[in-house]
């Protein structure tokens, strides 16, 4: 695998991932720390972990939590361990945790104000994190589902604002996707594109606007916007229609990337580009989904992904406080390339691309903006664009 990183790439990446962005990321980590501490105190987890080494399984039993509490609760424990507040030891091959130092007394309002002072456009991320956190006590007790907490009609606005290009906590992934799409755009007069997991349409809007501004829009023969959810499909379509002038070549299609594309009416060897932004990591069987994508690409076509990525395979990301509530995020097949659910690290993505027989694999991460930043790769890597050819 080789990637030609040009000076233009470096400048573009530095423009997307600014010092202000990293400052917000570090504050977001502290914000999630506060939210976890609050969850622990509301549910009496704090008292159990403070007094003795205890396993997640025993906490679930003692507090009468539902079995689905295991994945998000284990994540919270390892998040605190990673930040140095819990120690771990093995008891009969079971991981047990205990508070190793006093948990910080963080003022949520002060922290939120600090973040909004840096950039008010990060508010949608904070609101969704807070909504998820407030729902965990009743989720653990089986009184509320993820749907109740995050997806009732009154909460859909949270999602449209979170995945919006005005949300500085998320737009970096759409901007990075467009950088990759333009870098690897085939040199053809007529291009057919399919987007997987299009959701609220913000990635499409960012990319199509850029194509229009660069006078490349007319090269798109067909653009197929897909999502598994009919509601999101309609939401995304409405957003695109409001932003894009010429939408004649845009088609809408319900598509589940966990199922054979051929069974859903997608023809083989049909698309020059299939891309997704923070979508494919939710595939239940990732290698099968990548094979479905391979099937639908023309010979010489490319899969291009923009993904939030872990610094390493066992590192955790603050955004997961939200997504650990979702079955689609947690219920995935694990393998040598995927030791835990959710987001993957760079090496795991490379492994899956190679296993799915993609060729000429190239990738860029946010730390490729300059040589100096590579020295802190393990601390700073949060985003990746990757391309594989058929």
The pLDDT tens digits for 265-295 are 999 999 999 999 999 999 999 999 999 999 9
pLDDT band at 349 (very low <50, low <70, confident <90, very high): very high
User: Is 245's pLDDT higher than 70?
Assistant: no
Per-residue pLDDT, 153: 81
Residue 340 has which token pair?
A: 């835990």
The pLDDT tens digits for 8-45 are 999 999 999 998 999 999 999 999 999 999 999 999 99
Contacts of 371 (CB under 8 A, 6+ apart): none
The pLDDT tens digits for 85-107 are 999 999 999 999 999 988 888 88
Per-residue pLDDT, 370: 61
Give pTM, 2 decimals. Answer: 0.94
Per-residue pLDDT, 246: 66
Per residue, the 3-state secondary structure of the chain, as one string, reads CCCCCCHHHHHHHHHHCCHHHHHHHHHHHHHHHHHHHHHHHHHCHHHHHHHCCEEHHHHHHHCCCCHHHHHHHHHHHHHHHHCCCEEEEEECCEEEEEECCCCCCCCHHHHHHHHHHHCHHHHHHHHHHHHHHHHHHHHHCCCCCHHHHHHCHHHHHHHHHHCCCCCCCCHHHHHHHHHHHHHCCCCCCCEEEEECCCCCCHHHHHHHHHHHHCCCHHHEEEEEEEECCHHHHHHHHHHHHHHCCCCCCEEEEECCCCCCCHHHCCCCCCEEEEEEECCHHHCCCHHHHHHHHHHHEEEEEEEEEEEECECCCCCCCCCHHHHCCCHHHHCCCCECCECCCCCCEHHHHHHHHHHCCCEEEEEEEHHHHCCHHHHHHHHHCCEEEEEEEC
Residue 121 has which token pair?
A: 């456009």
The pLDDT tens digits for 147-194 are 999 998 888 889 999 999 999 999 999 999 999 999 999 999 999 999
pLDDT band at 358 (very low <50, low <70, confident <90, very high): very high
Per-residue pLDDT, 314: 81
Cβ(183)–Cβ(170) under 8 Å?
A: no
Per-residue pLDDT, 373: 45
Q: Which structural domains are found in the chain, ordered by start?
A: 7-17+167-389 (3.40.50.150)
User: Is 372's pLDDT higher than 50?
Assistant: no
User: Is 374's pLDDT higher than 50?
Assistant: no
For 2-6, 18-22, 110-114, 158-162, which range has the lowest pLDDT when averaged over its residues?
Answer: 2-6
User: Is 375's pLDDT higher than 60?
Assistant: no
| Average pLDDT value for the chain | 92
User: Is 224's pLDDT higher than 70?
Assistant: yes
User: Is 347's pLDDT higher than 60?
Assistant: yes
């Amino acid at each position: 695998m080789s990637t030609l990183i040009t000076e233009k790439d470096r400048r573009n990446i530095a423009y997307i991932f600014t010092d202000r962005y990293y400052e917000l990321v570090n504050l977001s980590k502290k914000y999630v720390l506060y939210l976890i501490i609050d969850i622990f105190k509301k549910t009496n987890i704090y008292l159990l972990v403070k007094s003795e080494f205890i396993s997640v399984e025993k906490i679930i039993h003692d507090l009468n939590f539902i079995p689905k509490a295991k994945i998000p609760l284990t994540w919270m424990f390892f998040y605190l361990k990673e930040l140095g507040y819990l120690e771990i030891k093995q008891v009969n091959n079971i991981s047990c945790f205990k508070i190793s130092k006093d948990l910080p007394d963080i003022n949520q309002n002060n922290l939120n104000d600090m973040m909004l002072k840096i950039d008010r456009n990060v508010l949608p991320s904070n609101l969704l994190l807070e909504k998820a956190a407030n729902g965990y006590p009743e989720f653990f007790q089986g009184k509320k589902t993820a749907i109740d907490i995050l997806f009732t009609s009154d909460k859909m606005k949270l999602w449209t604002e979170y995945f919006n290009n005005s949300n500085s906590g998320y737009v970096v992934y759409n901007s990075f996707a467009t950088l990759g799409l333009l870098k690897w755009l085939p040199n053809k007069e007529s291009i057919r594109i399919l987007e997987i997991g299009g959701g609220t349409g913000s990635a499409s809007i960012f990319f199509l606007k850029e194509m229009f501004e660069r006078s490349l829009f007319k090269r798109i023969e067909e653009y197929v916007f897909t999502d598994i959810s009919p509601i999101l499909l309609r939401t995304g379509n409405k957003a695109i229609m409001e932003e894009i002038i010429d939408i004649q070549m845009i088609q809408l299609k319900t598509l589940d990337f966990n199922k054979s594309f051929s069974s859903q009416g997608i023809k083989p060897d049909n698309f020059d580009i299939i891309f997704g932004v923070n979508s494919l990591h939710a595939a239940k069987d990732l290698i099968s989904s990548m094979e479905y994508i391979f099937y639908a690409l023309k010979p010489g076509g490319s899969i291009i992904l923009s993904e939030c990525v872990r610094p390493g395979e066992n590192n955790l990301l603050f955004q997961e406080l939200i997504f650990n509530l979702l079955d689609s995020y947690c219920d995935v097949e694990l393998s040598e390339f995927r030791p835990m659910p959710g987001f993957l690290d760079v090496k795991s993505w490379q492994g899956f691309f190679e296993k799915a027989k993609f060729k000429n694999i190239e990738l860029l991460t946010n730390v490729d903006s300059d040589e100096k930043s590579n020295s802190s790769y393990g601390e700073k890597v949060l985003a990746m664009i990757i391309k594989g050819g058929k």
